[in-house]
Amino acid sequence: MNFLSNKYFLIAIRVIVGGIFIYASFDKLMNQEMFSKAIYNYKFLPGTFINIFAIIIPYLELIAGIFLISGIFVRGSSLIISILLVLFIIALGQAYARGLDIDCACFELKNELENANQKSDILLRIIEDMLLLTASIIIYIKSKIILNKEIQQ
């Protein structure tokens, strides 16, 4: 697992994870009303807090993404991204477990095929987020080791 400590490998995953977060933030920033509705559809957060999250999360993603790529506050950014990803995974997981359709906040009885399609969509997103979380944790841990080495030198 030596390659994980490779400087260039770490830069590469920083750019990938940071880039994905910057890209994801644009869509939400363009239409915050829709993002607020999307959070609502998860039936996960109390209604009062939804808009605060809808206003702040896109900027958190954008700024943490920019910092991660540019190498500023790498540990703080990767930890924030990890926490966000854990939240996303919990939100998706509870929707999956409850059989919630996150396109419309419905618990409709559907035929099995449609239900299976929606469930596999959510499952795919959970897997994507878990991969990103792994990458983000690697950045966090390895940048600490590199930092310590630099201090010792």
Partner 1 sequence: MKKTCKEIFVILLISILIGLIANALSPNGIALIRDDSERFLIDSSKTKSDNFKNQRGKLNKAGFYQPVNIPVETAKILFDDGILFVDGREPAEFQQGHIQGAINIDYKIFKDKTKEEKNEIMKDIRKDQAVVSYCGSDSCEISIDNAYEMAKVGFDDMKIYLGGYKEWKQFGYPIEE
Compute, in degrees rounded to 10, the torsion defined by CA atoms 101, 103, 106, 107.
-10
Measured in degrees and rounded to the nearest 5, phi and psi for residue 106 equal -115, 145
Nearer to partner 1, 15 or 45 (CB): 45
Cα–Cα dist 50/25, whole Å = 16
Least Å distance between CB 11 and partner 1? 18
- Position 87 contacts partner 1 (CB under 8 A): no
Are 92 and 41 spatial neighbours (Cβ–Cβ below 8 Å)? no
Per the document, the length of the chain is: 153
Contact with partner 1 (CB under 8 A) among 1, 2, 3, 104: 104
Binding segment for partner 1 among 3-11, 16-24, 67-75, 86-94 (CB under 8 A)?
67-75
Q: Does 110 bind partner 1 (CB under 8 A)?
A: yes
# of chain residues touching partner 1 (CB under 8 A): 37
Q: How far is the CB of 109 from partner 1 (least distance, A)?
A: 7
Helix (H) or strand (E) holding 53: helix 47-70
Which tokens sit at 69? 């790529």
Q: Which residues bind partner 1 (CB under 8 A)?
A: 31-33, 36-37, 40, 47-48, 50-52, 54-56, 58-60, 62-64, 67, 73, 75-77, 79-80, 103-111, 114
